Amino acid sequence: MLVTLGVNAQIQDGVIDDPGDIAFLGYNDSPDGFSFVFLDDCPNGTSIRFCDDEWTGTAFSSTTGEGEVLWTNNTGSTIAAGTVVDITDADDDSNIAATIGTASEDDLGFGTASTGGDQIFAFTGTRAAPGNFLAFVGGGSGYVFTNTGLTVGVTAVELNGEGYYNGTTVFNGTIAGCASTLNNVSNWTVANVGTYPDPYIPNELTGTVFASVSCSMTASISSQTNVACYGENDGALTVTASSGTANYSYAWSNGSTTSNTSSTSNGISSLTAGTYTVTVTDNNACTATASSTITQPSSAFVAHATVDSNVVCNGESNGGGTAYGTGGTTPYQFYSWNTGAFTASITGIPAGTYSVTITDANNCYDSASFTVVEPALLTAASIVDSNVTCNGNADGGATANATGGNSSYSYVWSNGATTASITGVAAGTYSVTVTDYKGCYDSASSTVTEPATMVAYAIVDSNVTCNGNSDGGATASGTGGTGSYTYVWSNGATTASITGVTAGTYSVTVTDSKGCYDSASVTINEPALTVAYAIVDSNASCNGFLDGGATASGTGGTFPYTYVWSNGATTASITGVGAGTYSVTLTDSKGCYDSASVTVNEPALTVAYANIDSNTSCNGFLDGGATASGTGGTFPYTYVWSNGATTASITGIGAGTYSVTLTDSKGCYDSASVSINEPPLLVAYSMVDSNVTCAGYYNGGATASATGGTGPYYYAWSNAATTASITGIGAGTYTVTVTDNNGCTATSSSTVTQSSTIAANAVVDSNVTCNGFSDGGATASATGGTGPYTYAWSNSATTASITGVVAGTYTITVTDNNGCTASNSATVTEPALLVAAAVVDSNVTCNGLSDGGATSSASGGTGPYYYTWSNGATTASITGVTAGTYSVTVTDSKGCYDSASVTVTEPATLVSSASVDSDVSCNGGNDGQATASATGGTTAYSYVWSNGATTATVSSLSAGTYSVTITDAKGCYDSSSVTVTEPTVLVAASQVDSNVTCNGLFDGGATASASGGTSPYIYIWSNTATTASITGVTAGTYTVTVTDANGCTSTSSSTVTEPTVLVAASQVDSNVTCNGLSDGGATASASGGTSPYIYIWSNTATTASITGVAAGTYTVTVTDANGCTSTSSSTVTEPAVLVASSLVDSDVSCNGGSDGQVTASATGGT
């Protein structure tokens, strides 16, 4: 069967990454294989995976015996759409082949198709992380199409068992059209193809790609509504497509989309100013674009309001103001004030804030306000600068001031003064009227006061307490005058009170704060001088006794007196005191005091003494003696001893302490004591120094000693020896007699012994458990001799038992307590050395897997052996382990052990990374590039990008995130992603900085700015200027093109306006009525320019109209708000000088008659 496919070239994107980009044509069992056809061009490097595992909706199941085939375009060029690829022997890794490109299968093997149902999914990415699903063929159960994007009959064909496409052989159209035909199950035959020339399709299938659909569709903007008010979003556009094929899809550059509609028109609204592009796609995937720029006024409409005149005086209504607009669209149509006025200017208004809303030609509106102010309320105030200082004086003063109103105040006081301040006035009330320069006025008043008459007083606070002291005090005070007061005393003190003064008369002058003063005086008194006296009443009778006495008295001062003695007594007399000097302080009732002293005497101290005449000669004897004596007190003395004796000396007494009391003739007494001593009791001792060491020896010894008695001592042994110690004696009992220096005696005995014959024994307690260990042991014992025994082993041990010894023969020597010895020996044995070993069976295939293995063995020691690995395993071999070093301990039946270790390795972790080589230069472009790289794993690497690319570097990228999966030679893989960015849309904006001030001038200006794109920006104006701002331009529309650093461009326009020509006009309102008068008048007006206008006449008048002028020509210069000027002249005329004349026509004919005639005439005037 020859199938010819015509695929619409306009809808191919040249990347195999969408459902339907390929379609299955057949799959077979025995031998296993399948065929597919490209419905889009396949770039070099593209990889496609074919998996016959079941898809669960989130992952491929791991079914035993099933796996995947990886096909790669490594032809070096793009494979054209319509090309058929056959995969043969898909279940045999050694024979698998592809008619175009290369194919390989994993270790699990590719499953077989069967009548019972099987399936194949085609997708990008990896089985662990599928990218995009492309096609499906097969049936059965256990799979779903969830999260694949595949649709049965469109991009997937379902049938049970093997089969092949047997439908239409020549057709053309879109990818979707071709895919839906090839995936229609009614176009398939279910059968195992077997051995046709193409193993999986009955006849060889070839494909030819041609473009059978032409595109002539166009798109144009059929209607446009620009933004009415600057910054708003009321723009709208409508696009109309023609010469296309329904249905249509519309995609606007602002993100608005409409899909699958039969309408040839599509609109968007609520647009801000800017350029919008729309892409229209018809049913044949033909596209056409159109764009248009929504404009807006060059600048926002802004209302302004200014004050023409503020209120003259607080509370009046004579303010005024004017409103005008800028920007937006002229002419400005409507003014609406919050007062209800609808004119540009308002007058006759009080102080306050006035707002106005102005509407431009597009009904854009803005509000502004101004505040008419009025001076603060004029308020007069007056303050007293200084009241009259002293009662009756005329030195007061006051000052007036004002707040609010208008400055330059004038003053009129009730006393006729016209200055702000008045001085030299007497006490009284004074009023003042303050007037500002505009005639506003207010009044205030102040009262100047005077103090009461000043009077001084002085009183005694305290007289002097003691004669000659300086503790008197007095206080001065005053009434009247002006506080506070100051004081000057005749002693120079300047305080109200004086203290610490002596007796005398003191005068004081009291002065107030204004210098007014008065004087007073006071007299301070003092008492007579205080004197103290003291005498002894009685001395102490015995030394140390407290039976003395003395009395104090005084004269002068102020009664009554109080007394304080140096011993603390507070009475006039003291009694019961010992010898010593006593001082007394006498104080009168005012605290005045004087002191005196007196000395009380006593006899010398009575002291008794007692001395030993002789101690007792021997312990227990009565031959001691003692004598008493005394000093001090009053003779004669008497004696009384504790044993009843009443003589100075006592004799024939035994050991002990004897006390004696000595009393003088005054009854004063003292006691003393003496101790009569005796030697301690003589006691003899003897001890064996050394028994006979071994039986039959003469090496014993004994020693005698004594305590008590009186040394030195003498010794006599029962063996006739006369020394303290005896040596070299045999066993037996020995008695010694000890005599002291006074002939006293005592005896003692000691027995010297000997031991039996000594013998040694040695036995092995335990042999060494492990070769080289030190855990053997042996024990020695002894009989006979004299315990305890000491032990000396040949390994230097000195205990009865030895432990922790290595294998060998050990000799023991036992010595008893007397140094007698005996010897013996014991032999400790050990097993052969235990040796452990370990080897790697297999290293880990991929980093992080657990498929390594190792085995341990042992020799020596005592079987059987036991194994303990560092991972907890207890068998000789370990499997399924991760990379790492594993140690094993082999233990024999005796607990002997040895260790070995082995290192299972793994390749480094496969780590993928992706980096942006270059971002998209302009918003919406596709010139980005990214590169993937990897470290670790096992080279070589293969690459699969989310856009289908299979090279390390991908280019021609639009903005977006791209993921890449890198797989190493062992099938380990890792994924990374990278985001290619693009600048925001470059948008140019411009605004008028200043319109032309006067018609025809060159002082306009505009400024361009840009956002988005990539700075810095370059500006080129339609007047060839290349700066962001242009100045000194005439009225007109100026377009600026902004180019960013990447060459992206955007344009904007602004229109600089100018006012109409300013024209001044003037006319005479009234000419001078009489020659030489000044009652003429003229009025000026203006049109064009920018209001408000300022008028300056040649006679210096600055109002629109001038009045009261003489005849002459008056020129007015009109200046508008922008400083533009225009002039006009008017001539005020006057009549000629009025001249009267008269002519006598005829005189009176007769005296007294009345027939004369005169004719009057005039020239000039009017």
Nearest one of 425, 401, 403 to 414, comparing CA atoms: 425
* pLDDT given for residue 72 in this prediction: 95
Distance of CA 766 to the CA centre of its chain: 72
pLDDT tops 90 at residue 1023: yes
* pLDDT given for residue 1155 in this prediction: 79
CB-CB contact of 824 with 811 (8 Å): yes
Asked if omega into 1154 is within 30° of 0 (cis), the reply is: no
Give me the amino acid identity at 62: S
- What is the phi/psi pair of residue 185, to 5°? -60, -25
Mean pLDDT throughout 935-959? Answer: 91
Structure tokens at 143: 């799979």
Average pLDDT in the chain: 87
pLDDT tops 70 at residue 207: no
pLDDT tops 70 at residue 4: no
CB-CB contact of 544 with 580 (8 Å): no
Identify the band that residue 9 occupies on the pLDDT scale cut at 50, 70 and 90: very low
* pLDDT given for residue 201 in this prediction: 46
Separation between Cα atoms, residue 1010 and residue 1028, nearest integer Å: 9
Mean pLDDT throughout 149-160? Answer: 84
3-state secondary structure of 620: coil
Cβ count within 10 A of residue 54: 19
Identify the band that residue 539 occupies on the pLDDT scale cut at 50, 70 and 90: confident
pLDDT tops 70 at residue 399: yes
pLDDT tops 90 at residue 802: yes
CB-CB contact of 700 with 692 (8 Å): yes
Cβ count within 10 A of residue 819: 12
Structure tokens at 860: 């020596």
Report pLDDT digits (tens) over 603-662: 888 898 999 988 887 888 888 899 999 998 888 999 999 999 999 899 989 899 999 999
- What percent of the chain lies above the pLDDT cut of 90? 47
Identify the band that residue 175 occupies on the pLDDT scale cut at 50, 70 and 90: low
Mean pLDDT throughout 546-565? Answer: 91
Structure tokens at 1081: 């008048």
Report pLDDT digits (tens) over 338-391: 998 888 889 999 999 999 999 988 889 999 999 999 898 989 899 999 988 888
* pLDDT given for residue 1037 in this prediction: 93
Separation between Cα atoms, residue 725 and residue 678, nearest integer Å: 29
Report pLDDT digits (tens) over 90-148: 666 677 888 899 998 864 556 544 444 578 999 999 988 999 999 999 877 777 888 88
DSSP 567: T
3-state secondary structure of 1161: strand
* pLDDT given for residue 511 in this prediction: 93
Q: Which positions ≥6 away from 340 have C-beta within 8 Å?
A: none
**What is the pTM assigned to this prediction?**
0.31
Residue linked to tokens 């390390």 = 952
Half-sphere exposure of 293 (CA within 13 A, CB side): 9
pLDDT tops 80 at residue 782: yes
Mean pLDDT throughout 141-163? Answer: 82
- What percent of the chain lies above the pLDDT cut of 70? 93
Mean pLDDT throughout 417-434? Answer: 92
Cβ count within 10 A of residue 500: 11
Instruction: Using alpha carbons, list the distances in angstroms from residue 638 to 647, 661, 870.
Output: 8, 8, 107
Separation between Cα atoms, residue 239 and residue 241, nearest integer Å: 7
Mean pLDDT throughout 920-946? Answer: 91
Mean pLDDT throughout 980-1009? Answer: 92
pLDDT tops 60 at residue 211: no
Nearest one of 175, 52, 170 to 105, comparing CA atoms: 52
CB-CB contact of 880 with 850 (8 Å): yes
- Torsion, Cα 1103 1109 1111 1114, to 10 degrees, reads -20
pLDDT tops 50 at residue 313: yes
Q: Which positions ≥6 away from 677 have C-beta within 8 Å?
A: 612, 615, 616, 624, 655
pLDDT tops 90 at residue 540: no
Identify the band that residue 60 occupies on the pLDDT scale cut at 50, 70 and 90: confident
* pLDDT given for residue 825 in this prediction: 92
| β-bridge partners, 1056 | 1036
**Ordered domains of the chain (ranges, CATH):** 4-190 (no CATH), 218-294 (2.60.40), 302-372 (2.60.40), 379-448 (2.60.40.1080), 452-524 (2.60.40.1080), 531-600 (2.60.40.1080), 607-676 (2.60.40.1080), 683-752 (2.60.40), 756-828 (2.60.40.1080), 835-904 (2.60.40.1080), 911-980 (2.60.40.1080), 987-1056 (2.60.40), 1063-1132 (2.60.40), 1137-1166 (no CATH)
Report pLDDT digits (tens) over 653-698: 989 999 999 998 888 889 999 999 988 988 889 998 888 887 777 8
Instruction: Using alpha carbons, list the distances in angstroms from residue 809 to 44, 666, 847.
Output: 86, 102, 57
CB-CB contact of 67 with 109 (8 Å): yes
3-state secondary structure of 11: helix
Report pLDDT digits (tens) over 268-304: 999 999 999 998 887 766 778 899 999 999 999 999 9
* pLDDT given for residue 195 in this prediction: 46
Burial 455-469 (b: 16+ CB within 10 A, else e): ebebeeeebbbbbeb
* pLDDT given for residue 171 in this prediction: 52
Q: Which positions ≥6 away from 498 have C-beta within 8 Å?
A: 473, 474, 475, 489, 491, 506
Residue linked to tokens 């960015």 = 981
Strands 130-138 and 156-158 come out as: parallel
List the single range of 83-92, 219-228, 515-524, 987-996 with lowest mean pLDDT: 83-92
pLDDT tops 60 at residue 1046: yes
| β-bridge partners, 400 | 382
Report pLDDT digits (tens) over 807-856: 999 999 999 888 888 899 999 988 889 999 999 998 888 898 888 999 99
CB-CB contact of 79 with 22 (8 Å): no
